[in-house]
Structure 1
């Protein structure tokens, strides 16, 4: 299976990238077409583009069974998502962030720690190991499947089975997909404004893609705040990996830094606040970023098979569901104390 070209690849690899595109363009064209259809529904009928991109994409899940299509779809869901998130840095100003205040930012860190500890406690109650609790709790607390893979990489192999990692990835993806659809309605019913809803979405939904989808289905403001809040959680991933490595210091190894798109997001946000940029450029990047995210969500929908998501059975998902509800409960309590 060929490897998708990474965003920012050297110029010497341009020909290889072009050949890869010609080979796997079907998946990219499919995701782009779904994104265009969803954008049309959004502009003409007020339908949430992100939500419809996910739902329409899921109807084409059978297309993901073709290897060439799957490669292009995976590229959109992974690389274009990261590029779209990185470009969001040019949208966010310090004034936007200041609307959150310091308390919600501290709240993100506190909820992350509590969810990790809760993951370990619940795992022990379910008769599972501390390592499995760190894996499931960390995936819920930080960034879903990506965190699960990163944490699994630094945990000693003897404490985890491959099936444990697969179960966690499948379970957290299922919970995150459900949360993307349900949470915006839940937070609206709690009477939260766009800024508070964005914060809650960013603080509770697991995967970056679903956070983006849920946030922008509420409003642009909610989407911006949700993305920023989510990236705060992602930024804490190296700290968690270091802590896990220390806990298992006699058995584990390896280090990890911030994902490139988080670094790019931070750099672009700094540029946005300290360098005067033409409004035309900011508008273009804003539109480009939003469309890239719709394409990524469309591809995520195509990759999503409800049958496979729930294949491990209800019992296998219970622990991750408990972790998810625990994080949500913390956020609601926090909202009632500090946001409402």
Structure 2
């Protein structure tokens, strides 16, 4: 293919994707405005606003761009999440919190698979919900979703999981500090509990610093360790489900995971300037919100209603399991 024909192909692709990507970005901007001025999780706003524009994904010029935003832009966002983690921050926690977090993530995912089977739900759905609960909420749901088999209800299940973990994370931010106060633990132990159980980073920060600065710092570091677990979990799942993926991409490490790992290493070495890190984190955030707005556009309210009570019971059970598991470890250590 000549350079000229490649250029024309690129222009055609941009024209094809631009309307849908622009629509997704506009929804993301609106969601960000609502979150900053009225409070509330920006991811949830993006989902709900996107669902209001479901018709755009059914006909017209936006279909291709919405699909591109919900998949390709999502992978860019997840890859750039590596800039939020350094190995030094993880090592500051010491061995006990590291072992606790790793064990909690693995056991919660196994619990989700088993509970999904008991409830008559699919194994991928159990992995999706449990992974989101165990690791980092909406971001983990989107990353794990990208390597799971693309069944008939794949996108509906992903949106349900994002809504579920976001809602439960907000509840946990309010309730968990009250519960953990009953055990009269020190600030570091409380931080490990909050960072090891609450789903989303923002809610962990809010809950931790509402107790004390020390609790907030420990909770944030513990949460970043859970975020770091995203890489090995998604890599493992990409190989477990490789038979369901089409073509060469299903037989090798996804590119966005390579970017994730590279950014962790580079950030740990101090090679990336702070100004560049700030830009990367901002781009990742906007890509995530844009991708989730696109996912919302591809999800109908009727489809969400079809998920059923068993799915809600599953994600609540996974959340309770994780909380009890980490609480037992933290109290036992004391």
Pairwise same-fold verdict (TM > 0.5): yes
Q: Which of 159, 169, 173 is the aligned partner of 1:183?
A: 169
Q: 1:301 — aligned with what?
A: 296
Q: 1:60 — aligned with what?
A: 53
1:122·1:133 contact (CA, 8 Å) conserved in 2? no
CA distance change for structure 1 residues 301 and 236 in 2, over 3 Å: closer, same or farther?
same
Q: 1:16 — aligned with what?
A: 9
CA distance change for structure 1 residues 223 and 286 in 2, over 3 Å: closer, same or farther?
farther
| Cα distance between partner residues in 1 of 2:171 and 2:118 | 32
Q: 1:327 — aligned with what?
A: 318
1:144·1:169 contact (CA, 8 Å) conserved in 2? no
Q: In angstroms, what is the RMSD of aligned CA positions?
A: 4.0
- Secondary structure in 1 aligned to 2:61? helix
1:270 CA displacement? 0.9
1:119·1:323 contact (CA, 8 Å) conserved in 2? yes
| Cα distance between partner residues in 1 of 2:191 and 2:49 | 26
Does structure 1 residue 200 correspond to structure 2 residue 197?
A: yes
Q: Which of 324, 328, 331 is the aligned partner of 1:337?
A: 328
Q: 1:281 — aligned with what?
A: 276
Q: Which of 42, 51, 55 is the aligned partner of 1:49?
A: 42
Q: Which ranges in structure 1 are unaligned for 5 or more consecutive residues?
A: 1-9, 154-164, 203-213, 246-253
CA distance change for structure 1 residues 103 and 296 in 2, over 3 Å: closer, same or farther?
farther
What number of residue pairs does the alignment pair up?
293
Does structure 1 residue 262 correspond to structure 2 residue 251?
A: no
- Secondary structure in 2 aligned to 1:236? helix
1:328 CA displacement? 1.3
| Cα distance between partner residues in 2 of 1:53 and 1:239 | 29
Q: How do 1:87-236 and structure 2 match up within 5 A?
A: 87-98=80-91, 101-111=94-104, 113-115=106-108, 117-118=110-111, 121-122=114-115, 125=118, 134-142=123-131, 152=149, 165-167=151-153, 170-171=156-157, 173-191=159-177, 197=194, 199-202=196-199, 214-216=200-202, 229-230=226-227, 232-233=229-230, 235-236=232-233
User: How does the TM-score come out when normalised to structure 1?
Assistant: 0.67
| Cα distance between partner residues in 1 of 2:171 and 2:73 | 27
- CA deviations on 1:112-151 (whole Å, 9 max, x unpaired) are 554565456546655x6xxx76444333334658757856
**Range with bigger deviation, 141-150 or 93-102:** 141-150
CA distance change for structure 1 residues 235 and 41 in 2, over 3 Å: closer, same or farther?
same
- CA deviations on 1:258-303 (whole Å, 9 max, x unpaired) are 4322221111111112143333322222322222222222222222
| Cα distance between partner residues in 2 of 1:102 and 1:86 | 27
Q: Which ranges in structure 2 are unaligned for 5 or more consecutive residues?
A: 132-139, 181-189, 207-216, 243-248
CA distance change for structure 1 residues 18 and 334 in 2, over 3 Å: closer, same or farther?
farther
